[in-house]
Structure 1
């Protein structure tokens, strides 16, 4: 065992349930963009990492990738829509006397063509099966903030539907569960233990002086504290993605393409890759100093940051793994790193925390979204009160309503009325299902196919 510490990189992969719920600007194209710019190119990075990177897939993301018709619509998006929009922007740039911008738009359009070719090469299992080969962690069924779920029965439903879905699709599960939004409260721990959860991540940045040591909870799983100092190198104001050579993800052409770098120059792919190599070397050196003498640095990132919000993020990740191997920094899958790092007892009286800003549940239950939080809790009680009369349709609409995404999007005010419309729609559909149990309504399409009303009735 190394005298020095270790690094665990955890990629949390999640998309709101948008399959069949709108296209542009808010809806299914979010999923298609993530597939093209993140999930498909991620496959090669994971293969090169040789199991050193922990991949978590939320059940709700898997539900969408498995939904009938998604593969065909995704290919049409890549081969038709994106080909057309890149061609239109390139033509406009040339007409404006900016041939260098036109050339970059055309180069970037090749990303979508390559993604389409790779998707078609994946065979019958498609993208989902390819990702599941690497995914060892899962999450709750629809990414609910579990400390805000009203009852133990509701938490059990979220956990069991998500875990059973992962087992059915992946054929295995080792007990690693991503708490949605890293939202943790000690009262959840016995329910996590009951569900078979052996380890989860928590954000105790403002609670713990030492985030480099796992915690053994009294009544449940190992708690792996996130190392915010390491994460902030990647994901904070002024972090690596802000470097001048990287692609500017905010400045857009008419059809929302990004041919500029952060410093205002025309984007240069080679220059950006060189920057990614330098930032990877800097990251590895900083983490090595941080864990010198022992400990575990858990760097958890939303997978969608890498490739979509930070265009070069996957280049950086591959370079981090390679640089760590060259320099001797031990990078392990989180399960292996936890097994190799002694834990200490979790302190008593931990508060409810999350990786939101601040590290509380405010993003999902503050005054700006309190109506959404209360509506979801009240709806849960309505379904429980209905008992055996609550059918699968009602239960699936409840799961859809409990998603953390609606409150997050509303708090951040980044998608107009869409999140509130979605929450209101699922609440109305839930009440319709309770009023007329047994009637078919395809509103939730492929969501939570492994959920069973019996999951609400006990362990």
Structure 2
């Protein structure tokens, strides 16, 4: 009797910390979202929409964090992103003119001009700036399963208060949703072939070099007006070189057609390896195997420019393979005859698999403040029935500030050493605001003007239930 197909479950985790600075016209940190939209989310949507149009079989899972969704829906950030895309089109047009006598680089300048124009039309004309509805349409078409994570991507194992903090993070994220916990271990081989710095596909010599960008390569006078407020040099998205050879600094011009062919080859290789791996596992188990292949979404497009194209080819290869099927984990679990049961232990995707990234000498100082604030929030929330309307508003905003302070991104940035002052400032800022609000609620003397200011600066989670913290 022929064994039923095994399952390949590709999961993209899409997350960014909540960054919104109305007080700065063009902040470097808001550009994290804009780069992710241009290089990851719009290209992924285009790939998945093309599959939906031809009713292609196969499904992936995308985890959209609540903070990312909030930024997708924010009118200020939508307007700023549209302006930013328009400026990228202008920059690319200037590059087309500048390279008109350079046969090596003008095709690339044209490539980026058309790419930026396509993204602007996609965002403005097709989506009307509503990216969330585009993801929803793909869910309804059957191309993706959408899931989420904790409200601000808090690192739950280090929240000493336990259940109330977990409940606030998870309950705020999945309000009005019925769900049960399912734990799946990621497949190490699937991760290695994509993530590994030495063996992973993204390091291939034909692929685009991320670290060579015109934001750094062009003279400052030619790019100054396209840089964020303050004139800090940063990536602008026009990258003219391929990786070539990691062992030397020399880089050859990027060739999109060559990279595209390589992405197709790598997709075929990936699927062959997964199919053979699944067959060996299913023979041992006596039932279909489930291979979970989770990746940070921004690997696809932002860090690995060819990633969305590669993923589309993987799904097409899976559709032709007799032994493996690309589905979402929930469907796979429903179709597997039996699954293991066990206890969950703290773990992560981080270095070493545990908490080392989020707890070391660079960031350990934050936890005594975060956990003490969580205890104070619990005490406030337990007395919520006694508060008047202004106190209730302040209590809800205190909850927002605590959730934002708990974002795991700040500890991560401190550990990696990138933009550490910003991560420290955000942690301290939200804790300071929490402290002022907590004092106002506790004393019954809420500063209404200050509260309104905080609500305007951080309008995330408008329906937050402060009772989740009790």
Match of 1:282 in 2: 269
String of CA shifts for 1:171-198, please: whole Å, max 9, x gaps. Answer: xx5xxxxxxxxxxxxxxxxxxxxxx432
The count of aligned residue pairs is 402
The verdict on how the C-alpha distance between 1:154 and 1:392 changes in structure 2, with shifts beyond 3 A counting, is same
* 2:57 is aligned with 1:57: no
Q: How does 1:246-285 map to 2 (within 5 A)?
A: 246-253=207-214, 254=216, 256=235, 257-263=238-244, 264-285=251-272
* 2:466 is aligned with 1:456: no
- State the secondary structure of the residue aligned to 1:38: helix
Query: After TM superposition, which residue ranges in structure 1, 4 or more long, deviate above 6 angstroms?
Result: none
- State the secondary structure of the residue aligned to 1:364: coil
Equivalent pair of 2:377/2:469 in contact (CA under 8 Å): no
How far apart, CA to CA, are the structure 1 residues paired with 2:29 and 2:311? 28
How far apart, CA to CA, are the structure 1 residues paired with 2:201 and 2:359? 31
TM-score (norm 2): 0.80
String of CA shifts for 1:346-373, please: whole Å, max 9, x gaps. Answer: 345x542111001011111222210123
Aligned-residue offset at 1:99: 4.5
Equivalent pair of 1:46/1:53 in contact (CA under 8 Å): no
- Aligned to 1:236, which of 196, 204, 225? 196
* 2:419 is aligned with 1:407: no
Match of 2:13 in 1: 12
Match of 2:187 in 1: 227
Aligned-residue offset at 1:443: 5.7
Aligned-residue offset at 1:142: 0.8
Q: How does 1:319-330 map to 2 (within 5 A)?
A: 319-328=313-322, 329-330=324-325
How far apart, CA to CA, are the structure 1 residues paired with 2:346 and 2:422? 28
String of CA shifts for 1:431-451, please: whole Å, max 9, x gaps. Answer: 122233453223643322232
How far apart, CA to CA, are the structure 2 residues paired with 1:109 and 1:375? 48
Match of 1:193 in 2: none
Equivalent pair of 2:78/2:129 in contact (CA under 8 Å): no
- State the secondary structure of the residue aligned to 1:277: helix
Q: How does 1:35-434 map to 2 (within 5 A)?
A: 35-47=37-49, 48=51, 52-80=59-87, 82-87=88-93, 98-123=102-127, 126-133=130-137, 134=139, 135-151=145-161, 152-164=163-175, 196-198=178-180, 221-238=181-198, 239-253=200-214, 254=216, 256=235, 257-263=238-244, 264-292=251-279, 293=282, 294-328=288-322, 329-348=324-343, 351-387=345-381, 388=384, 391-434=395-438
Tell me whether 34-43 or 397-406 shows the greater mean CA deviation. 34-43
Equivalent pair of 1:36/1:115 in contact (CA under 8 Å): yes
Aligned-residue offset at 1:25: 6.8
The verdict on how the C-alpha distance between 1:382 and 1:6 changes in structure 2, with shifts beyond 3 A counting, is same
Tell me whether 275-284 or 223-232 shows the greater mean CA deviation. 223-232
Equivalent pair of 1:233/1:240 in contact (CA under 8 Å): yes
How much is the aligned-residue C-alpha RMSD, in angstroms?
Answer: 2.3
Equivalent pair of 1:11/1:301 in contact (CA under 8 Å): yes
The verdict on how the C-alpha distance between 1:148 and 1:40 changes in structure 2, with shifts beyond 3 A counting, is same
The verdict on how the C-alpha distance between 1:446 and 1:46 changes in structure 2, with shifts beyond 3 A counting, is farther
How far apart, CA to CA, are the structure 1 residues paired with 2:99 and 2:403? 46
How far apart, CA to CA, are the structure 1 residues paired with 2:27 and 2:252? 27
String of CA shifts for 1:122-166, please: whole Å, max 9, x gaps. Answer: 3457111111332521111111111122321111111111002xx
Gaps spanning 5+ residues in structure 2: where? 140-144, 217-222, 224-234, 245-250, 283-287, 385-390, 441-445
How far apart, CA to CA, are the structure 1 residues paired with 2:467 and 2:45? 37
How far apart, CA to CA, are the structure 1 residues paired with 2:463 and 2:213? 40
Q: Which structure is larger by alpha-carbon Rg, 1 or 2?
A: 2
TM-score (norm 1): 0.82
Aligned-residue offset at 1:331: 1.0
The verdict on how the C-alpha distance between 1:287 and 1:428 changes in structure 2, with shifts beyond 3 A counting, is same
How far apart, CA to CA, are the structure 2 residues paired with 1:51 and 1:331? 5
Aligned-residue offset at 1:84: 3.7
- State the secondary structure of the residue aligned to 2:210: coil
- Aligned to 1:28, which of 13, 27, 30? 30
How far apart, CA to CA, are the structure 1 residues paired with 2:4 and 2:99? 56
Gaps spanning 5+ residues in structure 1: where? 168-172, 174-195, 199-220
The verdict on how the C-alpha distance between 1:315 and 1:124 changes in structure 2, with shifts beyond 3 A counting, is closer
The verdict on how the C-alpha distance between 1:3 and 1:51 changes in structure 2, with shifts beyond 3 A counting, is closer
Equivalent pair of 1:64/1:446 in contact (CA under 8 Å): no
